[in-house]
Each structure stands twice: as structure tokens, then as C-alpha cells.
Amino acid sequence: PVLVVDYGAQYAQLIARRVREADVYSEIVPHTLSTQDILAKNPAAIILSGGPSSVYADGAPSIDADLFDAGVPVLGICYGFQAMARALGGTVAQTGLREYGSTEVRSEGESRSILTGTPSSQASWMSHGDSVQTAPAGFDVLARSAGAPVAAFADEQKGLYGVQWHPEVKHSQYGQAVLENFLFRGAGLAPNWSTGDILEEQVERIREQIGDARVICGLSGGVDSAVAAALVQRAVGDQLTCVFVDHGLLREGEAEQVERDFVAATGVRLHVADEQDRFLDALAGVSDPEDKRKIIGREFIRAFEEAERAIMREAAAEGEPIRFLVQGTLYPDVVESGGGEGAANIKSHHNVGGLPEDLRFELVEPLRALFKDEVRAVGAQLGLPAEIVGRQPFPGPGLGIRIVGEVTRDRLGLLRRADAIARAELTAAGLDSAVWQMPVVLLAEVRSVGVQGDGRTYGHPIVLRPVSSEDAMTADWSRLPYDLLARISNRITNEVDGVNRVVLDVTSKPPGTIEWE
Ligand code: XMP
């Protein structure tokens, strides 16, 4: 693989994605890994990510110069570039000339090496205080900017490269070209990683892991669990039983979709547990978001365990207990929960942290190495219908965390109708793929005055939260057309009793999160 060494910023994931977009397999490793351990992974190339620190800060991670003698091509980005310069004898200074945001970078002479094919002046995304003043011996300076006397360098002989800017960020106009130049020219790699390979490889691995044992998988109605289940189904067929816990917090038509469309597409054995009362009872009187999440997580595990027991009874009757549990864990979950360092717990995503410690099952996690869009591609290859594969991400706690305030049946009914209208209009406008997801939120504890017909109303607002994102780690609010927003607003206020106002959330993430709770 191409290894992306994570220096602690959020950029490492983005770099790994971009490398995969170039059809080259990549993985992220923490900077705390020793040079020896990094090299032991046999990397085809190494990319050093940006990071929050100054190379002069106390405790700033440094780079072992041995890494550059191993004959493995290396690209340093931002912090990685500076740390590389320093390790190899260049100079890095705190000049006080900070560059932040879109910055013009000019090639030294003709654009060459990793800048080949890009214009001599390009808009690039910078975020740095220190800058490289002189390149290490043997390095050729490729570009400068106003605040960076050395903005890119290369030692072609040794296969070492660096850029001050962030090529992985879309605001860097020729960022992908720079990365691909590194991968294909600098490191001599070939674009040969595809989702077809993932499918074959995973099916093989799952077969090896599970053998002829039995396995269960919880379906949430979401893309990840559906694709994970379909993969396992492809690998071991009838050894798999899926469990679908209907917690009553799903959107309109979702439970039916799982029961009908998913089963039709895969022929999987499905156990449905109707647990709506259990969840609503447990949520009665609770309005704190974290409490709600914990309760939903807890009840979910209980309901799931009960379903398991029921299936085990049947399985035992057939003489084979269940040994494995499938989880739809994705790569960002793995990085976020494993990375640990400096990663704050913003919300407890129960599908990551919620497994009981004394879990009796061995886990099967066929999506561990994948990003969301890759999961969708695999799902499509497995023949899952577009309605499942193209679904917007939907949180495990469901509508329970889209009602700000206590969750009640009435409120759920109201939110479900508003959400169905918003989704239907988005789809009718052909704009499903224009958003990453569009939470529809009910402010159950806010009321405002309105007028409808000849009368005064005193109803609740509905919030539309359409966002665009690549991996939900950061997001921007989507600029949906006004006439679409107007249609959604009209229909919701006309058709949903108790709602007299529709508002649009125009906050990016950060500082807002995507969901309201
Ligand atoms: P936030 O609100 O943290 O959401 O910006 C990021 C992404 O995660 C989804 N989300 C969840 N998914 N369990 C889940 O399975 C959860 O508790 C949860 N909370 C948020 C959210 O929809 C968005 O895609």
C-alpha cells in the first residue's frame, strides 16, 4: 500500500481518499509508529501528512532521517514537508509570514517533476506559519509563494518530494495532478486498485474467516450494514441470518424497504423484531441528547441480544451455535476510534462504541478498509438496488436525535411526514446526489406564532439541514435552489399539522455538527 503517515490533522483521511481516487490502495498509519514498523509494512510509497504543530513546538513530532534512506519514495505535505526539510538538513524558519487559505504558488522555471502538466501559477490551499527557507542539499526547488521561499522541492534521484500546500484539498486547483505525479511518475506506481478487486478479495477473506460456522448481522436500514450483509451473504450464503430491530425511529417507508427490497435483492434470511414500544417507553421524559443516544444504544443492544437468543435457539436446534457477528464498520470509524490521539469524543456514535465488553461473538468487518463511496460501489456490484445503495447516511439513533426535545409518538409522526415531503421533493428535483444528506429536524420545544387561513397558529419549526461533504468529518451547507426550498416549505406547512414554519440551517461543520444533537 501507499502509507499516509498521520501527523494529527484531519488531512490524513483526505489524502488517503485522493490516493484511492487515483486507483492506488492507501492506508493511514499514526506518526507514533516507528520507522522500522512503517517500513515493515512494505509501503510502495509514503506520504507525510500535514499536522497542527510547528516543527519548533515542544513535543512536535520529528521524522527519523532513516526513513529517507530506505529507497521508498516519500512525499511530504505541509508539516510533513517541513519536518522532512529539517530532518535532511534544510532550514525551516518562523518568519511571521503566515499563509492561510487560497494562495498563489509559482513554479521555478518550467513546471516539472511533481508539478509536470500544471500551470506555472496555480491557486493552492495553504495553512502554515513556519516556512522552508532553504532546501536540503541535493534538492531542486520547484516552486515559491509570497510566504514560502521554498514551496515545493524534489530530489528525483532519491525519490523524495515535498509541497508546502495541501494538494488533497479541492481548493488546490491542481492538487490531484500533483498527487498523481508523485504516485505515477515519482513512485512509478500503476493505477490498479478498484472496487471489483475489493469484492473478490473480501468474499475470499470472509470465507476464510467464517469457514462453515454460522453468522448474524444487524441491519439498520443504512447503506453500510446492508452492503456488509450482502457481502457476507455472497461469501457464505445461508450461514448468515440478518436481524432487523425496528426501533420506531426510522423514516417513512424504511422498515418496509429493509424487509422487502433488501431481502428481494439478496435472498437473505431475515429476523424482524418489532421493538417500537420498548424504545418509546425507554425514551419517555428524556430530552438530553447524550441521554437519548445512550438509551437508544442500550435498548438496541438488548433488543438485538434477544433476537440473537431467538435465532440461537433455532440454530441450536439445527446443531450449530452462532459464532460470528457482522459489523458495517467503515475506515473513517476505524481511524476515528483507533487514532485516539487528540480525537475528542464529540458524540457517542453507538454503532462504534456500543458493543458490550463481554461480546460472545467474533467480529466480521468486511468494510473496515473502505470509505463510504467505495462501500456504495461495492453495494452496486453486489446488485443491491439504487434505493439502498444511494441512501443518504442516517444515524443509528434515527429520528430520535432529530427531535430536539422529548421523543413522543406524535412528534415522530409529524417529523416523519415532514421528512418524507422534503425527501420526495429533493428526489423530484433530481438533486439527491447534490447533497451528502439532508437531516430534517423538529424543534419540539420551540413554538412560534403564525397565521393560516384566518386564524392564528402557534406551532413548531422544522429545520432543513442539507449539507455537502466527503466523509461527514467536515461539511458545508448545500446551496439548494430557492424554488425547491420554497416547494418543500409550502408543502410541509400545508400538509403537516402543527408545523407553521420551515427554516434553513446555513452553518458549516465545524462549527455546527451535521445533526442537531
Ligand atoms: P455529526 O452530527 O457528528 O454527524 O456531524 C456526522 C455523521 O454521522 C451521522 N451520525 C451518526 N451515525 N450513529 C450513527 O450511526 C450516531 O449516533 C450518529 N450521530 C451522527 C450523521 O448522520 C452524519 O452522517
The per-residue pLDDT for range 247-260, each reduced to its tens digit, is 999 999 999 888 89
Per-residue pLDDT reduced to its tens digit, 392-434: 999 989 999 999 999 999 999 999 999 999 999 999 999 998 9
Taking residues 427-450, report their average pLDDT: 96
DSSP-derived secondary structure for 157-195: TTTEEEESS-TTSTTSTTHHHHHHIIIIIIS-------H
Tell me which residues have their CB closer than 6 angstroms to ligand 1.
Answer: 293, 346-347, 349-351, 393, 395-397, 437, 472, 509, 513-515
CATH architecture under which domain 408-504 falls: 2-Layer Sandwich (3.30)
Q: How many residues does the chain have?
A: 517
Q: Which atom of ligand 1 is nearest to the CA of 397?
A: 17
pLDDT at residue number 336:
64
164: which residues sit within 8 A by CB, 6+ positions away? 78, 81, 82, 105, 126, 128, 131, 132, 145, 148, 150, 151, 152
Per-residue pLDDT reduced to its tens digit, 166-213: 999 888 999 999 999 999 999 999 999 888 888 988 999 999 999 999
**Ligand 1: which of 295, 348, 515 to mutate, judged by most atoms within 8 Å of the beta carbon?**
515
pLDDT at residue number 344:
35
pLDDT at residue number 194:
85
Per-residue pLDDT reduced to its tens digit, 219-245: 988 899 999 999 999 999 999 999 999
**CA 207 and chain centroid, separation:** 27
In this predicted model, which residue has the larger pLDDT, 332 or 86?
86
Q: How remote is the CA of residue 515 from the centroid of ligand 1, in Å?
A: 7
Among protein residues, the one with the nearest Cα to ligand 1's atom 11 is 395
Q: Please, what sign has the CA dihedral across residues 285, 288, 293, 297?
A: negative
Nearest to 435 by CA among 360, 510, 505: 505
Residue 434 corresponds to which cell in the numbers above?
Answer: 447534490
Q: Which atom of ligand 1 is nearest to the CA of 439?
A: 22
Residue 348 corresponds to which cell in the numbers above?
Answer: 457517542
| Residue 454 burial class via C-beta count within 10 angstroms: exposed 0-12, middle 13-18, buried 19 and up | exposed
Active-site hit among 31, 78, 242, 460: 78
Q: How remote is the CA of residue 395 from the centroid of ligand 1, in Å?
A: 5
Check the annotation: does 222 bind a ligand: yes
- Cell numbers 514498523 label which residue? 37
Please say whether the beta carbons of 125 and 101 come within 8 A: yes
Among protein residues, the one with the nearest Cα to ligand 1's atom 6 is 472
**Highest mean predicted confidence (pLDDT) among 121-130, 439-448, 473-482:** 439-448
User: Known catalytic residue: 217?
Assistant: no
Per-residue pLDDT reduced to its tens digit, 142-174: 999 999 999 999 999 999 999 999 999 888 999
Q: Which atom of ligand 1 is nearest to the CA of 394?
A: 22
Please say whether the beta carbons of 407 and 283 come within 8 A: yes
Check the annotation: does 37 bind a ligand: no
Among protein residues, the one with the nearest Cα to ligand 1's atom 10 is 395
- Vertex 411, ends 458 and 482: CA angle to 5°? 65
DSSP-derived secondary structure for 103-161: EEEEESSS--GGGTTS-SEEEEEEEEEEEEEEPPTTPEEEEEETTEEEEEEEETTTTEE
pLDDT at residue number 515:
97
pLDDT at residue number 347:
40
User: Known catalytic residue: 168?
Assistant: yes
| Model ipTM value | 0.98
Q: Which atom of ligand 1 is nearest to the CA of 222?
A: 15
| Residue 488 burial class via C-beta count within 10 angstroms: exposed 0-12, middle 13-18, buried 19 and up | buried
Check the annotation: does 224 bind a ligand: yes
Question: What's the rounded Cα separation, in Å, for the pair 306 and 296?
Answer: 15
Q: How remote is the CA of residue 266 from the centroid of ligand 1, in Å?
A: 27
- Vertex 284, ends 219 and 462: CA angle to 5°? 75
Percent of the chain at pLDDT exceeding 70: 95
Q: How remote is the CA of residue 512 from the centroid of ligand 1, in Å?
A: 12
Question: What's the rounded Cα separation, in Å, for the pair 106 and 29?
Answer: 32
Active-site hit among 31, 99, 128, 166: 166
Q: Does position 346 have pLDDT exceeding 50, yes or no?
A: no
Q: How remote is the CA of residue 428 from the centroid of ligand 1, in Å?
A: 25
Residue 464 corresponds to which cell in the numbers above?
Answer: 432543513
- Nearest 10 degrees: Cα torsion 398, 402, 403, 404: 130
Find the distance separating the first CA and the last CA of the chain, reported in whole Å. 37
**Ligand 1: which of 291, 295, 345, 349 to mutate, judged by most atoms within 8 Å of the beta carbon?**
349
283: which residues sit within 8 A by CB, 6+ positions away? 292, 295, 296, 400, 406, 407
Question: Where does 276-408 have alpha helices with state H?
Answer: 276-283, 289-317, 331-339, 350-353, 372-381, 386-389
Please say whether the beta carbons of 221 and 258 come within 8 A: yes
Residue 349: pLDDT band by 50, 70, 90 thresholds?
Answer: very low
Taking residues 274-283, report their average pLDDT: 97
Q: How remote is the CA of residue 330 from the centroid of ligand 1, in Å?
A: 13
Do 2-186 and 408-504 show the same overall fold? no
Which CA distances in Å does 295 have to 218, 270, 279? 18, 25, 8
User: 286-295, 376-385, 465-474: which range is least confident on average?
Assistant: 465-474
Average pLDDT, the chain: 91
Please say whether the beta carbons of 448 and 500 come within 8 A: yes
User: Known catalytic residue: 166?
Assistant: yes
**Ligand 1: which of 290, 465, 514, 516 to mutate, judged by most atoms within 8 Å of the beta carbon?**
514
Q: How remote is the CA of residue 378 from the centroid of ligand 1, in Å?
A: 22
Q: How remote is the CA of residue 73 from the centroid of ligand 1, in Å?
A: 37
CATH class entry, domain 2-186: alpha beta
Check the annotation: does 433 bind a ligand: no
Domain 195-389 falls under CATH 3.40.50.620? yes
**Ligand 1: which of 347, 465, 474 to mutate, judged by most atoms within 8 Å of the beta carbon?**
347
pLDDT at residue number 102:
87
Parse the chain into domains and list their residue ranges: 2-186, 195-389, 408-504
Among protein residues, the one with the nearest Cα to ligand 1's atom 18 is 395
